[in-house]
Structure 1
Amino acid sequence: MKNFLLTAAVVFYAGYATPVFSQKAETPKFISNVEGIKEYSLSNGMKVLLIPDGSQSNMVVNIVYNVGSKNEGYGEKGMAHLLEHMLFKSTKNLGDIKKQLSDKGGRANGTTWYDRTNYYEVFPSSDENLKWSLQMEADRMLNATILQSDLDKEFSVVRNEFEIGENNPGSVLMERIASTAYLWHNYGNSTIGSKEDIERVKAPTLRKFYEKYYQPDNATLIIAGKFDEKQALNYISQYFSVLPRPSRVLDESYTVEPAQDGERFVELKRAGDSKVVGALYHTVPFADKDYAALDALSEILTADPSGYLYKSMIDSHKAASVYAYQQQLRDAGFMYFGLEIPADKDVKATENDFRAELDKIGTTKYTEQDLARAKAKLLKQIENIKNNTINYAIGLTEIVGAGGYKLGFLYRDNVEKLTLADVQKAAEKYFRTNNRTIGIFIPTKDEVRVKNVEYSNDQLAALTKDYKGKALEKEAAPFEASIKNLKANLTEGTLSNGMKYGVIKKEIKGGKVLASFRFPVSNAKDLSGKSDVGSLMAQVLKTGTKSHTKEQIQDMLDQWKSNVNFGFGGQTLYVNVSTYKENLPKVMGLIKEILTESTFPEAELVKTINEYNTYLEGSLNDPQSIAFNEIEKITKNYPKESIYYTASTQEQIDNNKKVKREQLVDFYNKILGSNNGVGTVVGDLDTKTAGSLLEDTFGKWNSKSKYEYIKPELFATKKLDKDYLTPDKENGAAVGKIAFSMDRNSPDYPALIIANEMLGSGGFLTARIPTRLREKEGISYGAGSFVSIPVDNNVASWSWYAFFNPTKKDAVNKALKEEVNKAVKEGFTEEEFKSNLTSWLNGRKTGLGNDNTLMNLVNTQLQYGVPLEDYDTLEAKVSALKVSQVNDVLRKYISEDKMTSVFAGDFNKK
């Protein structure tokens, strides 16, 4: 079957029954090498981009089709997205795509947006995985089955996804504003589509759409990471070059949105707890030079803490948060502003204040400092994205959809060349009242209207034709994804105060350096009742020191292309760092300053509480938030002062309001310290220099509170189903839990891991729970299970979850429990075990290719003494299992009689 594409085949295009036969294989034609992206083409019109990175242990195959919601006609709204789901079903030659993806492990997905649809697979680098991915993508390009029986199940899954989005007031408001702003262009339509169209479309209609757009002349294939380039080109020749160029011609989209002729206003009234104001301005395609100026302007306006809108709306406590963004679009797009408002504020008054501030955008005189700050942040983002090869290749999807991958380099160049005059001109040109959608129509005279910019394909080609890009960067050295190699490149040490650290010598693209630190602190007595104080303290840490303001701290991090994040939970402070080799000393110096000289400005605490509580208010009646919160409250009976107590959302809001600055300062001065901490750094570093840097940063930072581990308690679960009503919410959620005693040294641990894999966690939606609820019955968009088995205690649990239409609650509950009981009673099969074992092993290998996984493994060894070899030992133990052992362990721990379940949704819906 592997040579099926080399034989003659009859294919039907766009509904025309014209037989077209496969053509002779050809070698892809080399076009150019722009900054490490090697471009090729095939005579059938398909474009190919290769992005080799030997420092990766994974690879990604990403295929982008130039079709999205923009291409949908009357009665077809949501068709592009629905088709994306259908292409994970089966093909004529390879059969069940999801099962094969599941068997191979790794990570795979498909996404649909305005201008494009993409499908990608991330696997451990191997010739087998590369060959299969290319063979599969070539097969489903032309040979998807698109059966009505599959569509009958999948449309309800897509509808369920639609309903989840309907629960988000900010998301729904943005859709309403966009549909009001666009009279004719399809950018005004939601990509997920119309629920009615989704429900009524038939397979033959969907097939016509598929056969029109899913063709080689409408596709760009991207391969990135660690792979054999020569072999990749051979497979592309074998599987893709033989696909014929279709006889049909895709016409360019000719709908151009007319200049808006007055401010528009939309009011949305529906269930929800958040108060949100949005504003949309028509702007330009991604290809236009003004796009970079507008991106810079969005930073100048909304950045925390320097943004003009941020200062006027957030510092004044009129709103909790403000943001702005542009989409990377092929045609004239838009900039969208969002404002989240606390529950105790008047939304109408805030809306008027916001409109008044928006009116100032075109007349404000911006400064060179504003421009420098914005450029630093944008260039940092561009650099960080480019140096993460796997995510970069997936992210290129948007740029390809916007007109071609070289536009990304032109955008970067435009950012680098930006002048203050460019920004000022863009502010004056686009931010006019008559180009905004937020309010009512106002007739005026002598309006200067903003016309949307239009680019033809020929213009785009001319714009990028001779672009050469910058000099190629030095390629990072290969790094094998294995525990043996990790150990060979790991240096451990101990600071003078007892803190343990590890340095992983690994070259990362661009000279990047990552670090992760854990600082366990204090004891039950000193932390009693202080969970909210600790959480807020970490959020306010970066808001000012004795030497630098919040604004200056952010400016320095942007200039250094670095990120530093703090978080506090339980009894641990977490610090995560992303920077570059040349900037590491400066970043660590700043961290030391923050950890020893923070001032916790009162105004910043007020803003932080305001923003956090506004976020929490938005989840007060959210089914998912309620379900996951309540399952913890029901199954754990800790006193309120315990660090393990689960507060309700309203309790969290109320507790946050009570926190005072003095409490944060006291917590900071008495509780925090590194003397019981661990940390790992990854990068191409001299280990002695790195150790000295860590000593200088943390070596004398000690806690005044004695550290004593606070051990959690095991609370037995019981058979219980409890409902929580969330009126007028379109989606429901359910979570179940069984608690039991186990740690990772238990002889039952390996068997339970693989049992959970087969029951609800493994594969690409082919484990029993998701297969039953999503694939077979189509009653849940997302369903599965997970286990929590700790390293340092024996308080373990198995949990399940499902998201669904509230009217399907009983069906979901019945199906879930039937699957659990069936697995317990009848056990898993040998075939299931072998299939899921392969998937699980491949998934773990994929995980080892992630730098965060490496840091977590080393930190766990440093903190708990868990040897790195345990990673391989667990795999050996799981591989040696017999299916009878797995079934015995499942029966030992999993039972409906011990299952506590929570259901949240509008169950009064009919």
Structure 2
Amino acid sequence: MKNLLLGTAVLFFTGTINPAFSQSTEAPKFISNTEGVKEYSLKNGMKLLLIPDASQSNMVVNIVYNVGSKDEGYGEKGMAHLLEHMLFKSTKNLGDIKKQLSDKGGQANGTTWYDRTNYYEIFPSTDENLKWSLQMEADRMLNATILQTDLDKEFSVVRNEFEIGENNPTRVMMQNVFSNGYTWHNYGNSTIGSKEDIERVKAPTLRKFYEKYYQPDNATLIIAGKFDEKSALKYVTDYFSGLAKPIRQLGGTYTVEPAQNGEKYFEIKRNNDQQIIAAGYHTSAFADKDYAALSALYEILTSDPSGYLYKNLVETQKVSSIWTFSPVVRDPGMVYFNFDVPKDKNLDETTKLVRTELDKVSTIKFTADDLKRGKAKLVKDIENEKNNTINFAINLTEIVGAGNYKLSFLYRDNVENLKLEDINRVAQKYFKNNNRTIGVFRPSPNEERVSPAEFRDNQIADLVKDYKGKAIEKELAAFEASIANVKKNLTEGKLSNGMKYGLINKELKGDKVQGTFRFRIGNEKDLEGKDAVASITASLLKSGTKTRTKEQIQDDLDQMKSSVSAYVYGQNLIISLNTYKQYYPKVMAIVQDILTNATFPENELTKTVTETNTWLEGQIKDPDAIANNELQRLASPYPKTSIFYVASLQEQIDENKKVTKAQVVDFYQNIMGASDGVGTLIGSIDVKSASSELEKTFGKFTAKSKFVEVKPTFFDTKKQDKNIITPDKENAVALGTSSFKMTQDNPDYPALVMANEILGSGGFLSARLPMRLREKDGISYGVGSYLSVPVTNDVASWNYYAYLNPTKRDAVEAAVKEEVSKALASGFTQEELDSNKKSYANERMTNLGSDNVLITLVNTKLLFGVPLERFDEQNSKIQNLKLTEVNAALKKYISENKVISVFAGDFNKK
């Protein structure tokens, strides 16, 4: 391997490739344009996909390597994931990757899965950002340092990540279904790996793995969003085409999972109140046509409210909820069914009922309506993903890992071409009890064993070689990410009932339309003791109206590829919608219907309470949930009569059980309304049409209860440390808060924001707290701090969090306090300030590229009168800050003597 590496390119980023270490450069060769995805190839074997979208203000560079946990050998479990962590350390030519990512701002991440590993960066669309991203990815493809000193620190960080998952009963159950279901294939292994393998691997061994798989012929580079294609091709030529194609042959994996010989059964016994039943069936590879039919079948079986399993198990309250997961994988995979069971149900009896219902699947004669519903849901999801270019480019990671990016379009076509016989066929083929992991071995003669079709590379190549795809969609109009441009394209108005609205004219992919509405409701007297009622009422809005059943509402939304959601917090009713221009009037009609004609069926109320309480029961012994709840109760000791009272988890369960239909109807009829509210839509819809539909929907939606804002009480926190023991939990959590008075228009606000950026929030894991606890000491997987400063009241706080191994509790506490104390005593440096100013500015620019951020900015303007210009003003104030101002703000508002800390975990572990 070392001799092989000498033949590859070593990059020196001066704008050219050193010819002594490279082959001659040659521009990427154009292959095809499939529905706007432009494919190129390089002589060294690297694939390139360009997905331009001028309507974006951001771009993403995403590089996918065809290596994941599937490729790990004996003693290597977790090596692919560990290597992903190490590639954020440093390279020979660029040095500290993480620091440079922090300085650049934007968003960056790396992920590892069964068949692939990827790294991506989302930045504002500039030539400088594009060039740097490609330079950096080319450098760490071959020149990562992988030092033993860095590896020694990262061991405990990855172990802590492993332990976080071990606290989650659902994740533990899913992993055990896969590990029990597979006998030989590596899909049965956790991607995060074995703790023992992770902690024992040495840098030279990890480097061999790196040198084998991190090569141009094993990579697909994706560039998407707004960028100059000529520049992109030039930079790819400059930085990647000169990398030599290695002489080694990867060969791929060749393990084929044998057909299962009988049903498998296992139990997990751990300290937790949450009851779960799970089942797994061996199914097809993503390239198989069966995958589309199976995906539709899962929707037909489990969707709320029409699914067969849903009706027979959730409707009848045998289980509280059901969901499925089927990973996109290269080889034959597995589908996972999860059934959450209320604590008051007998688990053995419920397991028998679940098994009985699963046994029926292969015998059901599905209908044309079933097929229509299943297809509509899948098509909606496919269209919504495709019409978000940045997410689409990142999600292509899974498809590339499964064999080829064009499989994404083939899957879409397979879904659209589904026939009823396809659904019945896959149900009969795969849903056999001898292909299931849930029970015990039982002798059974004349078994018809299931063996999903295997797809070799040449078969996939034959599938996609002549594929052309659908017609390429029109190019969208560019939309500059700036406050000035938002103002230029913003129309404001007011409805007859006083509700204010904003319309942002921005052409979205697929003619999408998004909207969020925020209505302020109630007063202190009318809302007293109604927190549970409010939450459940919002959850039940789509459960049926005088004109539509719950099933009809969901079917209509799925057919229109649309979604509507609602929730209540405090004095706010939030309604969000996601639809398309052609369906906007019909979706608004559904919103109007649920806001004026909801019927709240008794059985839906019972199901909602059961589902909510089942989830809460699972939180009662979770360290994170316990610590967060207790910290809020300590920092905000409101009386029970206050609408701000923080109920304990058990109190929440008890209050939910008391909710009656009469209370729900009363809240709906008297407290909900749109008079004191705002809403913003974004899309290319006609202003007159949009305004007319808003008037129809919300113009007469008024509340009988008068809205009077209830101001929170300021509680001056005092230093306190509290331990909560959670036995048999692999991971622990530390949370802290300190109160102070401030609003966002306070002159000190920008300086405090920057102080917090440097201390624990800014950059890509480069702030002081993450640098100390994760990078230097390696004692926490996730650590940081954040501010909570409101717009209209002055009850503010500074907060910190850290996830840790229970044995590291004292070390984490000492490190957090030491870093805070050091910052207060000595302040920050000019270098830190300059670096965080730059990353903050880039992050804010990236945020303006998000449609949800634009909606939030306009809603804040409409509701509180905060001018849009304040966004730019804050940026300007941040950039003009002096170091003395930042240090002074930290000392003025943050005090070690006012921090309440809560630690939750199994601290009796040695």
TM-score normalised to structure 2 length: 0.98
Q: Deviations over 1:409-435 (max 9, x none)?
A: 000000000000001000000000111
Deviation, 1:4, is: 7.4
1:269 aligns to what?
Answer: 269
Alignment of 1:535-550 (within 5 A): 535-550=535-550
2:313 aligns to what?
Answer: 313
1:110 aligns to what?
Answer: 110
Tell me how far apart the structure 2 counterparts of residues 533 and 639 of structure 1 sit (CA, whole Å): 18
Letter in 2 for 1:278: A
2:137 aligns to what?
Answer: 137
Equivalent residues, number: 899
Q: Deviations over 1:857-883 (max 9, x none)?
A: 000000000000000011111111101
Q: Deviations over 1:762-784 (max 9, x none)?
A: 00000000100000000000000
Tell me how far apart the structure 1 counterparts of residues 16 and 659 of structure 2 sit (CA, whole Å): 67
Q: Secondary structure at the match of 2:337?
A: strand
Tell me how far apart the structure 1 counterparts of residues 139 and 119 of structure 2 sit (CA, whole Å): 13
Deviation, 1:42, is: 0.2
Aligned residues of 2:111 and 2:117 also touching (Cα < 8 A): yes
Tell me how far apart the structure 1 counterparts of residues 166 and 263 of structure 2 sit (CA, whole Å): 26
Tell me how far apart the structure 1 counterparts of residues 820 and 246 of structure 2 sit (CA, whole Å): 49
2:13 aligns to what?
Answer: 2
Question: Could you tell which deviates more after superposition, 368-377 or 164-173?
Answer: 164-173
Q: Secondary structure at the match of 1:447?
A: coil
Letter in 1 for 2:17: L
1:83–1:5 Cα change, 3 Å: farther
Q: Deviations over 1:76-105 (max 9, x none)?
A: 000000000000000000000000000011
Deviation, 1:550, is: 0.5
Q: Deviations over 1:596-625 (max 9, x none)?
A: 000000000110111111111111011111
Q: Secondary structure at the match of 1:739?
A: strand
Tell me how far apart the structure 2 counterparts of residues 421 and 240 of structure 1 sit (CA, whole Å): 48
Tell me how far apart the structure 1 counterparts of residues 640 and 536 of structure 2 sit (CA, whole Å): 18
Aligned residues of 2:177 and 2:437 also touching (Cα < 8 A): yes
Aligned residues of 2:13 and 2:93 also touching (Cα < 8 A): no
Q: Secondary structure at the match of 1:361?
A: helix
2:337 aligns to what?
Answer: 337
1:577 aligns with 2:577: yes
Q: Secondary structure at the match of 1:154?
A: helix
2:62 aligns to what?
Answer: 62
Percent of residue pairs bearing the same amino acid type: 65
Deviation, 1:643, is: 1.8
Q: Secondary structure at the match of 1:473?
A: coil
Tell me how far apart the structure 2 counterparts of residues 590 and 452 of structure 1 sit (CA, whole Å): 42
Alignment of 1:327-476 (within 5 A): 327-476=327-476
Letter in 1 for 2:255: T
Tell me how far apart the structure 2 counterparts of residues 289 and 821 of structure 1 sit (CA, whole Å): 60
Tell me how far apart the structure 1 counterparts of residues 858 and 384 of structure 2 sit (CA, whole Å): 24
1:821 aligns to what?
Answer: 821
Aligned residues of 2:860 and 2:866 also touching (Cα < 8 A): yes
Q: Secondary structure at the match of 2:277?
A: strand
1:643 aligns to what?
Answer: 643
Letter in 2 for 1:799: N
Letter in 1 for 2:585: P
Tell me how far apart the structure 2 counterparts of residues 332 and 815 of structure 1 sit (CA, whole Å): 47
Tell me how far apart the structure 2 counterparts of residues 229 and 348 of structure 1 sit (CA, whole Å): 60
Deviation, 1:455, is: 1.0
Deviation, 1:170, is: 1.6
Alignment of 1:710-789 (within 5 A): 710-789=710-789
Tell me how far apart the structure 1 counterparts of residues 465 and 458 of structure 2 sit (CA, whole Å): 10
1:500 aligns to what?
Answer: 500
Q: Secondary structure at the match of 2:733?
A: strand
1:512 aligns to what?
Answer: 512
Deviation, 1:252, is: 2.4
Letter in 1 for 2:608: T
Tell me how far apart the structure 1 counterparts of residues 478 and 538 of structure 2 sit (CA, whole Å): 37
Deviation, 1:641, is: 2.6
1:864 aligns to what?
Answer: 864
1:41 aligns to what?
Answer: 41
Deviation, 1:908, is: 0.3
Aligned residues of 2:513 and 2:682 also touching (Cα < 8 A): yes
Q: Deviations over 1:567-626 (max 9, x none)?
A: 001011000010000000000011000000000000001101111111111110111111
2:125 aligns to what?
Answer: 125
Deviation, 1:522, is: 1.3
Q: Deviations over 1:116-138 (max 9, x none)?
A: 00000000000000000000000
Deviation, 1:452, is: 2.8
Question: Could you tell which deviates more after superposition, 46-55 or 251-260?
Answer: 251-260
Tell me how far apart the structure 2 counterparts of residues 439 and 248 of structure 1 sit (CA, whole Å): 45
Q: Secondary structure at the match of 2:363?
A: coil
Tell me how far apart the structure 1 counterparts of residues 528 and 44 of structure 2 sit (CA, whole Å): 68
2:285 aligns to what?
Answer: 285
Tell me how far apart the structure 2 counterparts of residues 378 and 277 of structure 1 sit (CA, whole Å): 26
Deviation, 1:711, is: 0.5
Tell me how far apart the structure 2 counterparts of residues 853 and 758 of structure 1 sit (CA, whole Å): 23
Tell me how far apart the structure 1 counterparts of residues 174 and 494 of structure 2 sit (CA, whole Å): 52
Tell me how far apart the structure 2 counterparts of residues 177 and 739 of structure 1 sit (CA, whole Å): 45
Tell me how far apart the structure 1 counterparts of residues 210 and 409 of structure 2 sit (CA, whole Å): 31
Alignment of 1:151-230 (within 5 A): 151-230=151-230
Aligned residues of 2:90 and 2:145 also touching (Cα < 8 A): yes
1:842 aligns to what?
Answer: 842
Tell me how far apart the structure 2 counterparts of residues 773 and 335 of structure 1 sit (CA, whole Å): 38
Q: Deviations over 1:373-432 (max 9, x none)?
A: 000000000000000000010000000000010001000000000000001000000000
Aligned residues of 1:725 and 1:906 also touching (Cα < 8 A): yes
Unaligned runs of 5+ in 1: 10-20
CA RMSD of aligned residues (A): 0.8
Aligned residues of 1:5 and 1:22 also touching (Cα < 8 A): no
1:694 aligns with 2:697: no
Q: Secondary structure at the match of 1:542?
A: coil
Tell me how far apart the structure 2 counterparts of residues 647 and 241 of structure 1 sit (CA, whole Å): 60
Question: Could you tell which deviates more after superposition, 643-652 or 49-58?
Answer: 643-652
State the 4+ residue runs in structure 1 displaced beyond 3 angstroms.
Answer: none
Alignment of 1:619-638 (within 5 A): 619-638=619-638
Tell me how far apart the structure 1 counterparts of residues 403 and 903 of structure 2 sit (CA, whole Å): 45
Aligned residues of 2:328 and 2:398 also touching (Cα < 8 A): yes
Tell me how far apart the structure 2 counterparts of residues 260 and 47 of structure 1 sit (CA, whole Å): 37
Q: Secondary structure at the match of 2:717?
A: coil
Alignment of 1:16-95 (within 5 A): 21-95=21-95
Aligned residues of 1:624 and 1:733 also touching (Cα < 8 A): yes
Aligned residues of 1:258 and 1:452 also touching (Cα < 8 A): no
Q: Secondary structure at the match of 1:227?
A: coil
1:17 aligns to what?
Answer: none
Q: Deviations over 1:259-306 (max 9, x none)?
A: 111111111111222111111110110000000000000000000010
Letter in 2 for 1:828: F
Unaligned runs of 5+ in 2: 1-11
Tell me how far apart the structure 2 counterparts of residues 542 and 5 of structure 1 sit (CA, whole Å): 59
Q: Secondary structure at the match of 1:238?
A: helix
Tell me how far apart the structure 2 counterparts of residues 428 and 388 of structure 1 sit (CA, whole Å): 36
Q: Deviations over 1:495-546 (max 9, x none)?
A: 0110000000000000000001000011101111111100010011100000
Letter in 1 for 2:211: E
Tell me how far apart the structure 1 counterparts of residues 28 and 19 of structure 2 sit (CA, whole Å): 21
Tell me how far apart the structure 1 counterparts of residues 645 and 35 of structure 2 sit (CA, whole Å): 52
Q: Deviations over 1:618-644 (max 9, x none)?
A: 110111111111111000011113221
Tell me how far apart the structure 1 counterparts of residues 475 and 741 of structure 2 sit (CA, whole Å): 48
Letter in 1 for 2:728: D
Q: Deviations over 1:699-750 (max 9, x none)?
A: 1111101110110011000111001110010000011111000001111101
Tell me how far apart the structure 1 counterparts of residues 15 and 837 of structure 2 sit (CA, whole Å): 29
Deviation, 1:8, is: 4.9
Aligned residues of 1:257 and 1:452 also touching (Cα < 8 A): no
Tell me how far apart the structure 2 counterparts of residues 4 and 267 of structure 1 sit (CA, whole Å): 59
Aligned residues of 1:295 and 1:325 also touching (Cα < 8 A): no
Tell me how far apart the structure 2 counterparts of residues 258 and 196 of structure 1 sit (CA, whole Å): 28
Aligned residues of 1:530 and 1:641 also touching (Cα < 8 A): no
